[in-house]
Structures are given as structure tokens and as C-alpha cells.
Amino acid sequence: MKPRRILLAVAVLGALVPPLRAHGGPYLPPPTVPAPPPVLPLMPVGPVGSAPAAPSAPRPAAAITAGPMGPALVGPGAPAARSVTASGANALGADLTLWNIWWNHNKAPYLELKTHVHSPGAMTGDVRRLPEQETRPDLRPTEQQVRERIVPALLAVLEQETNNDLVTGALIALAKVGDGGGIEDSARFVSALARFLADKNQEIRETSAVSLGILANPRATPTLANLLWDTEQGRELVKQTEVDYRTRAFAAYGLGLIGARATSESDRKVILAVLRRALDTDQTATPDLAVACVVAYSIVPLSAIGSSAALDVRNASMLESSRREQLEYLLALLRDRERHVLVRAQCPIALARVLSAPADGVETFRAEIAAELMQLIERDRERAELIQSCVLALGQLGTNAGRGLDAKIRATLEDVAKKAAEPQARGFALIAMAQVGGRFGADPSAAGLEDAADFLIDQMLDGKSAQRSWAGLASGVLGYELARSSVAAPALERLQRVVRTLLTDERDPSNRGAFAIAAGLLGDQESGPLLLKYLTQEIVDETRGQIATGLALMRQREALEPLRRIIGESTYKPLLLAECSMAAAILEDKEAPPMLAQLLERANGLAAEASISTALGYIGDVRSVDALLRGLGPGQSAFRTDCARGFAAVGLGNVADKESLPWNSKLALGLNYRAATATLTEPAVKKGILDIL
């Protein structure tokens, strides 16, 4: 965006803010300005090619629902476990205090799945190499395959289909693939995704909104801004008398996703201004919209740092032009006790994210923000969500320096882990202690590293059962950071030894799964034979999948044969199938994708087709494309149900994803998912943005 255009847009945003409800901060504008017209001219929204916009079809009476996460299987004919989703909860009423929920929200950077999937890897057996693989350095689909085969198939689905599951799956998939940066494709993709904003089905409307964010094209910013602000043009886009709060919340998340990938500081400033105005004028009945705006705001840090003077929330400017002003605004929100507690609870994480984004000069604000968070922990013990978020934020701000601020942070985390009445805060404190212990600061002694390791070992050995599993996972997190550093840390060997001992003695399946992943993160090869033994036993699927993950993380290639066997036997066990397939992919086994493709060809029934398509999407490479395209159709699809075809669309989106990490990891990493609204994450029904495949 050109400088003159950004200045004009910012001026419009600053001048046309409507009356605001009071929140106790002098940064608010006077309540006398009329409501605004649309932010910027909208992209034209119309049918792709010559096909008319398709009306919504009624949902089938049995078996299938779909949300923005793509298809989900429920009811008659569905597999026993729900489809694997980003939330990590695979059953209704899941206990959200369990360690595995945190792991499933945060595991993406530890697994680095796409890196392993696209590597040349080792190929054994009789798997044939495609001609282009002889000269190509990896197994990712070529740009030509993506543009000439995958994109047309997804666009055809959006032009021709009305089924809820199929449309939502194709919307997300097309957005993941991306427009490739070309001007013509850019306009075509935005138009193809945006026309479903007027669909009669709520899930399709909100999926359309967030898909524009996943696409990450700044051309979609005006469309999402009008939805978020509920302007006349926004209402025209959805063909309703108002833009419902769920669609508005998903539009906010979409704006954050665009800003997170934006290369232009001007584009980021416009998005921050749009989000801030929505926050300051929000009068919806639920906190969904405000929570969405805070979370989206947190992933759009500005490059300019601003003055290094102490933060002053009383003089926070109307429009952010620097990182400093972002921090001041977030602090003002955090201190505003008229705000809903769930909105305030997202502010500590947002502060940590904005502060932690790489830049010279932000260190000057760290002490002030950390002190604010530690004071909240002491003062607001009745606010469980606030305490949890402050703890997680301190884990992102502290280092293993031996003295001063960092020593105070570790002391605060230790106190919470030992004394907090609320179990989630205790678990989060252990993870935060691991993150702090593994982060090196200016102090070369790194004395806090050994202190953090000693504390986690004490909690593994002497803590209650639930505390031991959190401490075990945290030990893995700490060990992972140590293994990546060039520092020789005696603590690493001590952590490996304790985790190995507990793996031998542990009888609780959940705890054993935590220690298995910890052993993998610690790279403890000596635990490999024991985990291989457990992998072949008949144990609960979830724990077995966690053991497979541990083996993969420690690079135990001896696990490949049993993993292939489990994959072949788990057609109707989607959770186990996905976990073991991902483990094989991390071990860079190039037999897994064609093996799954063959299983897909022989699949019989919705459950098998859906679970294999999902697994193939997670780990698929160029050799998966043909099988998924046959499953998708359109025309004569290999699958009998639209729900299964929706899973094939999701799989294609994953195979051709433009990003190395899942798109919603930007929102999920380090987030307090316990301070959640229904549009952020809703484990019982899988209709939040973090639940999207």
C-alpha cells in the first residue's frame, strides 16, 4: 500500500469512530462522532467464472456435521473417536486441565512436520520414485501441480457444490494453498472465498471470513474490516440486517492472520487500527468479539519500537505507530476492570507476544511488563484465567539469567507451581519454568538453568500424579531447548535419567504418554527400547500415539516397521492412525504416504475414507495428490459421501499448504486456551477457530 493511501486510511479510521462505551481510559475518543462509512472500497465479490452463487443445501439428517474446521464425523456411521483437530480434545467433556491439551495446542514447532514430509528422506521396499523426484531436492508438490491440478479442483468444488462439509473443507484448503502472489489469481481467490459470506449457513459464512485471513492477502482487509465493524457494506456482504457476532469474530481473526504475514508496515497499521476501533466500540452480548480482537492484535507487532521511556497508558495514542504504543494500549486493556475477565485474560499473552517479536530495543519494556504481571498474580488470585495467562506470559518473557528480574520471575513461577489452588495454573507454571530455564539471556552464567531443572525433577519425583505428568512434559520442553543450544548442560543428562526411570515405573497411561513425549524431546536414545516395547502392547490409542510421537522425536528408526503395521491396522482408529502416520513422517519414512494412498483406494465407508484422508493430508507429499483428487472429485468421485470428499479437500489443502507450520499455530502457540470463548475454541463441539483442521 502506498504511503498516501495508508495515511488517508488511518485518517479515516481515526476521524470516523462512533460513540464508545466507557472503559476508564483516557485513550478513548469523545462520544460525539457519527458512525463511519466503509473503511476502504471492497473487492468485488461474485461467482467464480460464470457459475452462479450456490444456495445452501439442507444438512443431511444423519451422521454429519461440519464447522469451520472442515468436516467432523458424528452420529451413525462415524468412527468411534472424533476427527483429530487442533484443539487436542477428542471426546466430549474432555478434562482441559490435562497436559496433552497444552501439547496439542503447542506441538507444531517441536514436530516440524512439513520439514520432514518434504525432505528427500529414505525410501525402502518396492516403492517407485516418480521421474521428477530423481532431480528434485524434496517431495513437495511443484508449483505447476498446485496451480494446474489442485487449485482447479478446489475451485470447481466451490462453483458446483452446496454441501456444508464439502464447501467448508474446500474454502479452508484453497486458502491454505494461497494465490501465489499473482495479481490475477489474487483477485480470483479473494472473490471465490468471499462470495460465501452470503451463504445461509452460519458455519459456511464464518468459514468464508476466516479463509480470507488464511489466504493472507491484504486485498481482503477492507472486506474483513466491514464485516468486523458491521457496516452497511458488511451487512450487504452477508445479505443480513446485521453481521452476526460469530462472523465478526472470525473476521477479526482473519485480519490478524493477514497482519501476521504482511510485509508492509502500513498494512499492519491499518489492521491494528481496525481491530482497535472494534474493541473500543464493542457492545455485543458475549466477549467473543473482543477476545478475537485482542488475540488478532497480538500477532501483528509493528517493526518501529518507539521511545524507550517508561510506558504510559494514560497517554496511549489513538492509533498505534510503534511497538511501544501497542504495549501501552494492551496494558490499558489489562487494567480496565470494566472489561470482561476473558478479554483481560488475553492481554498478558498479547503483551508477551508483542514484546517478544524480534526487534532491537524492546528489552527496555520487559521489566515493566513482567512486574505488572507478577503483581497481578499476587493481587488477583480469585481470577483464575488472569493468573493462568500471567503465568504463561512470564514463561515467554523470562530467561535463565541468575539474578535480578529473571530470578524474580522464576521465584514467582515456582510459588504458583507449589501453592496455587487452581490446577491449571500449576501446570502452566511448570511449562513456563521450562521455557524460562531454556532461554538464554545476557547473563553468561545461566545459573537459572540448573535451578529450573532441579525444580522440575523435584516435581516429577515428589508431585501428585497430575503434577508429575506436567513436570515430565515440561522437562522435555526444557531439554529440547538445551539440545538446540551449543551450551553443554549437565542438567540435560539428569533430566533424561529421571524421565527414563519414571517411564519404567509409571502405570498411569496419561502420565506414561507425557514421559514418552518428554523422552523424545530430550533426545534420550536409551529410552528407545522401552518405548518400542510399549508401542507393540495393546494400550489405549491416545497413549500409544504419544509413544509413537516420542519415538519419532528421538529419531528411533527401529520404530518404522511397527508404525507401518499399526497404520495398516488402524483404518477405523483416526486418532491413532494420524499420530502414527505423523510419527512415520517425522522419521522421514517415504513409504507412509503411498501406503496410505493404497489404503484410501481400498477404503470402504465414511469412517475409513475420512480418517485415511485426514492422515494423508497431515503427512502427504506429491505422491498423495492423485489419491486425494480422486476422492475429492468433482464428477465421479471415488468417495460415496460428501463428508468424505470434504476430508479429501482438507487433505489437499494440507499437502499444498503455503506455510511450513499450521496456519492457526500463530494463534495457538502460548495461548491461554482456558480463557476461551466459543469462537476461539470449544472442545465439546469443535466450532472455534483453534479447532479447524
SS3 71: strand
- Tell me: pLDDT of 428 over 90: yes
Task: Collect all residues with Cβ–Cβ distance below 8 Å to 141 and sequence separation of at least 6.
Answer: 150, 621, 622, 625, 655, 656
Q: What is the pLDDT of residues 374-414, one digit of tens each?
A: 999 988 666 899 999 999 999 999 999 988 999 999 999 99
> CB pairs under 8 A, 24+ apart, for 493-499?
494/453, 494/457, 495/453, 495/456, 495/457, 495/522, 496/522, 496/523, 496/524, 496/526, 496/527, 498/457, 498/460, 498/461, 499/460, 499/472, 499/475, 499/524, 499/527
pLDDT at 316: 67
- Rounded CA-CA distance 355/366 in Å is 7
Q: Which has the minimum average pLDDT: 68-72, 571-575, 677-681?
A: 68-72
Mean pLDDT of 206-217: 97
- Rounded CA-CA distance 343/279 in Å is 10
Band of pLDDT at residue 363, cut at 50, 70 and 90: confident
Q: What is the pLDDT of residues 595-647, one digit of tens each?
A: 888 888 888 777 888 888 888 878 877 888 888 898 898 766 677 788 888 88
Mean pLDDT of 36-61: 36
Band of pLDDT at residue 369, cut at 50, 70 and 90: very high
pLDDT at 288: 97
* C-alpha cell belonging to residue 181: 502472489
pLDDT at 507: 86
pTM value is 0.85
- Tell me: pLDDT of 59 over 80: no
From residue 650, give the alpha-carbon distance in Å to each of 144, 379, 575, 580, 613: 20, 46, 16, 19, 8
What does the mean pLDDT of the chain come to? 82
Q: What are phi and psi of 422, to 5 degrees?
A: -95, 120
Band of pLDDT at residue 93, cut at 50, 70 and 90: low
From residue 150, give the alpha-carbon distance in Å to each of 164, 173, 247, 568, 592: 20, 10, 28, 27, 21
Task: Let me know: does 420 contact 412? Beta carbons within 8 Å.
Answer: no
- Rounded CA-CA distance 587/89 in Å is 25
Q: What is the pLDDT of residues 522-548, one digit of tens each?
A: 999 999 999 999 999 989 999 999 999
User: What is the pairing mode between strands 64-67 and 70-73?
Assistant: antiparallel
